[in-house]
């Protein structure tokens, strides 16, 4: 690859920075606070206007940083080293306020895209059509179509028809912002295809309906199997993490850690299983580096009349044991992948 030499310059992980841009009052800081700091969406009303570029460090399977730029500044003034900035990032996320007049934002966006694409053709360009919670169902689709159309036209005028731009409808009051960020982050993980492959294997051999690899703190999923994501399953899985952790935290005693320091770490991984009354099982297991695997397991043979007869109960326990074993295998390979990717980075 001829672009490879560019990424070897000193700043260690070049493609793992997300740049968050947009006009003022578009909701950029709110997004950061809600996704990375677990702030309640309503509290973001009281955020001050951001005056300096701020950076969030986000350490998951890869070390990410999200850089937020103040909206009211003009990046084409010569005192900003925009060129270096754009060449060092992996994804540009542009936030458009869908409740406001967005024509200005679109002009601004195409200017930024033109510039960024010139400097760094590998950049992923993502557009969040934000604050859709205030729009009615029909209007959302219209707004999205309109924005996509106009951006396409603008880019065509600039002679940039080859640029891939992805659009997401988001709001901080539901899970759509997490979904969008998950997709964006996934594009930056170079090991994603092998991860997905591994998860697919897991799903095939364990009668799992859907599996996610979550970052526990931010509820962003780093990977999932290749079946389509159902937003409700995602929500349930994300909330299951919260519930498990909340319950687990309640019985932490401060002196307990000192009493039993010799306990091996492998025993202490968080794991939780919940049987649902329709025969499904929610399954969570802690992985490495703040990741957790959450799976929804469906058992079709129990569905008949809800009652768990003993045979199916035994089958269920058996299948759980198999899933346990498979998940452990998955975890080991995850550790291997991670080690190798570290090696790659240092050798580069």
Q: Hey, what are 95's tokens?
A: 């936030």
Q: Does 239 bind another protein (CB under 8 A)?
A: yes
DSSP 171: -
321 binds another protein (CB under 8 A): no
Residue 92 pairs in a beta bridge with 19, 125
Q: 209 is written with which tokens? A: 């309906």
Count of residues engaged in binding another protein, rule: CB under 8 A: 40
- Whole-number minimum distance, CB 256 to another protein, in Å? 6
Give the pairing type, strands 208-215 and 291-297: antiparallel
State the minimum distance, in angstroms, from the CB of residue 279 to another protein: 9
The CA distance from 343 to 235, in Å, is 35
Residues 6+ apart with CB under 8 A from 168: 126, 127, 128, 129, 176, 179, 180, 183
252 near another protein, rule: CB under 8 A: yes
β-pair partners for 128: 95, 168
Place of tokens 């850690």: 257
- The reply on whether position 257 binds another protein by CB under 8 A is yes
- Rule CB under 8 A: say whether 221 interacts with another protein: no
For another protein, the closer CB: 164 or 260: 260
255 touching another protein, by CB under 8 A: yes
Site for another protein in 262-291 (CB under 8 A): 263, 267-278, 280, 282, 286
DSSP-H helix ranges across 100-221: 103-119, 137-157, 176-188, 192-205
Nearest C-alpha neighbor of 170 from the set 135, 125, 121:
135
Asked whether position 304 contacts another protein by CB under 8 A, the answer is no
Q: Is 236 in the site for another protein (CB under 8 A)?
A: yes
Tell me the C-alpha distance between 271 and 294, whole Å: 10
Q: Which is nearer to another protein, 207 or 233 (CB)?
A: 233
Which of 10/261 has CB closer to another protein? 261
Strand partners for 64 = 58
Which stretch in 54-62, 128-136, 227-235, 336-344 sits in contact with another protein by CB under 8 A? 227-235
Nearer to another protein, 102 or 330 (CB): 330
Least Å distance, CB 284 to another protein, is 8
Q: Is 237 exposed, middle or buried (0-12, 13-18, 19+ CB in 10 A)?
A: buried
Q: Does 253 bind another protein (CB under 8 A)?
A: yes
Find the shortest distance in angstroms from Cβ 38 to another protein.
15
Between 321 and 335, CB nearer to another protein: 321
Region of residue 22 (phi > 0: left; psi between -120 and 50: alpha; otherwise: beta): left
| Nearest residue to 130 (alpha-carbon basis) of 28, 47, 208, 229 | 28
CA distance 217 to 37: 8
Q: 56, 154, 235, 324: which one contacts another protein (CB under 8 A)?
A: 235
Nearer to another protein, 52 or 259 (CB): 259
Block residue for tokens 């409740």: 99
Using CB under 8 A as the criterion, what x/- string covers residues 152-191 for binding another protein? Answer: ----------------------------------------
| Residue 278 CB, nearest approach to another protein (Å) | 4
Query: Using the rule CB under 8 A, is 254 a contact of another protein?
Result: yes
Nearest to 237 by CA among 256, 259, 258, 221: 221
Nearer to another protein among residue 40 and residue 190 (C-beta): 40
By the rule CB under 8 A, 300 interacts with another protein: no
| Smaller CB separation from another protein, 125 or 282 | 282
Which residues of this chain interact with another protein, rule CB under 8 A? 232-233, 235-236, 239-240, 242-244, 246-248, 250-257, 260, 263, 267-278, 280, 282, 286, 296, 308, 317
């Amino acid at each position: 690859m001829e672009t490879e030499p560019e990424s070897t310059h000193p700043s260690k992980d070049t493609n793992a920075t997300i740049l968050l841009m947009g006009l003022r009052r578009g909701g950029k800081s709110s997004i950061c606070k809600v996704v990375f700091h677990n702030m309640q969406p309503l509290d973001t009303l009281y955020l001050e206007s951001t005056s300096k570029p701020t950076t969030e460090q986000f350490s998951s399977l890869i070390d990410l940083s999200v850089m937020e730029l103040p909206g009211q500044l003009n990046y084409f003034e010569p005192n900003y080293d925009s060129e270096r900035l754009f060449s060092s990032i992996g994804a540009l996320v542009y936030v458009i306020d869908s409740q406001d007049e967005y024509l200005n934002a679109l002009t601004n966006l195409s200017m930024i895209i033109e510039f960024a694409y010139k400097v760094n053709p590998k950049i992923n360009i993502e557009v969040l059509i934000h604050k859709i919670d205030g729009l009615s169902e029909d209007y959302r689709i219209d707004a999205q179509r309109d924005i996509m159309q106009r951006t396409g036209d603008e880019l065509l005028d600039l002679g940039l028809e080859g640029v891939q731009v992805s659009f997401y409808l988001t709001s901080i009051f539901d899970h759509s912002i997490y979904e969008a960020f998950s997709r964006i982050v996934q594009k930056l993980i170079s090991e994603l295809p092998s991860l997905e492959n591994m998860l697919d294997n897991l799903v095939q051999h364990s009668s799992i309906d859907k599996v996610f690899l979550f970052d526990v703190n931010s509820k962003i999923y780093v990977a999932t199997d290749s079946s389509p994501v159902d937003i409700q399953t995602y929500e349930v899985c994300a909330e299951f993490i919260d519930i498990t952790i909340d319950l687990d935290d309640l019985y932490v005693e401060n002196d307990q850690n000192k009493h039993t320091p010799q306990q091996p770490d492998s025993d202490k991984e968080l794991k939780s299983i919940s049987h649902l009354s329709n025969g499904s099982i929610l399954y969570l297991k802690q992985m490495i580096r703040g990741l957790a695997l959450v799976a929804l397991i469906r058992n079709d043979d129990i569905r008949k009349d809800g009652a768990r007869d003993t045979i199916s109960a035994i089958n269920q326990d058996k299948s759980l044991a198999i899933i346990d074993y498979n998940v452990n295998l998955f975890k080991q390979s995850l550790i291997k992948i991670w080690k190798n990717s570290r090696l790659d980075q240092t050798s580069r």
